[in-house]
């Protein structure tokens, strides 16, 4: 799968969803401007590639929540003394970026762009998942991801 095929699939989906527009004004149907030049762009490409080929994929929100430190007291010079600001995290550490279902398989996908590397928590999560027969893919670009994805999910 490459960007041009993904754009073609997107146009075909739009034509099915908007048949009157496709019939009366076909040049108005344009593909999404897919790009792989960031982690967010690559994530969007992967999710749409899976969804446009009969699978189901969603992005997992696994970011921490910023908690600003509270003012705990004021000294006589009216200077506020604050607690430290922190991030809190309520999810499972190391959880994947994309959760996908395809051909009866549940696939966990971690998107890594550029020099980004897997954390220790992500490596542990992957090892635990694969130990029980789960499918886990690290995606660095759409083409290589798609080859591995189709190999692991064919029936």
Domain ranges of the chain: 3-153
CA distance 27 to 103: 34
What are the backbone angles phi and psi of residue 110, rounded to the nearest 5°? Answer: -110, 125
Residues, the chain: 155
Q: For residue 88, what pLDDT is reported?
A: 75
CA-derived radius of gyration, the chain: 21
- Cα angle 91, 92, 94 (rounded to 5 degrees) comes to 125
Residue 113: C-alpha distances to residues 98, 120, 137, 139 (Å): 14, 17, 14, 8
Identify which of 142, 140, 44, 147 has the alpha carbon closest to the alpha carbon of residue 98.
44
pLDDT (tens digit per residue) in 89-109: 777 888 999 999 999 999 999
Q: Extract the tokens encoding 106.
A: 């549940």
Widest Cα–Cα separation across the chain? 75
Identify which of 101, 70, 73 has the alpha carbon closest to the alpha carbon of residue 86.
70
The CATH number of 3-153 is 3.40.1350.10
Q: For residue 91, what pLDDT is reported?
A: 75
Q: For residue 84, what pLDDT is reported?
A: 72
CA distance 30 to 153: 30
CA distance 26 to 135: 40
Q: For residue 98, what pLDDT is reported?
A: 97
In terms of C-beta density within 10 A (0-12 exposed, 13-18 middle, 19 or more buried), how is residue 37 classed?
Answer: exposed
Q: For residue 79, what pLDDT is reported?
A: 65
Q: Extract the tokens encoding 139.
A: 């995606």
* Segments of the chain with pLDDT less than 70: 69-83, 155
């Amino acid at each position: 799968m490459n960007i041009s095929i993904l754009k073609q699939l997107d146009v075909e989906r739009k034509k099915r969803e908007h048949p009157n527009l496709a019939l009366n004004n076909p040049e108005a149907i344009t593909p999404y401007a897919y790009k792989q030049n960031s982690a967010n762009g690559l994530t969007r490409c992967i999710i749409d590639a899976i969804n446009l080929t009969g699978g189901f994929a969603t992005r997992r929100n696994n970011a921490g929540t910023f908690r600003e430190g509270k003012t705990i007291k004021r000294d006589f010079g009216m200077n506020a003394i604050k607690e430290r600001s922190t991030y809190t995290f309520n999810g499972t550490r190391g959880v994947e970026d994309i959760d996908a279902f395809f051909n009866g398989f549940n696939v966990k996908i971690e998107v890594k762009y550029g020099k980004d590397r897997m954390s220790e928590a992500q490596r542990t999560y992957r090892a635990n998942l694969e130990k029980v027969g789960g499918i886990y893919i690290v995606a660095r670009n759409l083409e290589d991801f798609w080859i591995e994805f189709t190999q692991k999910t064919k029936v």
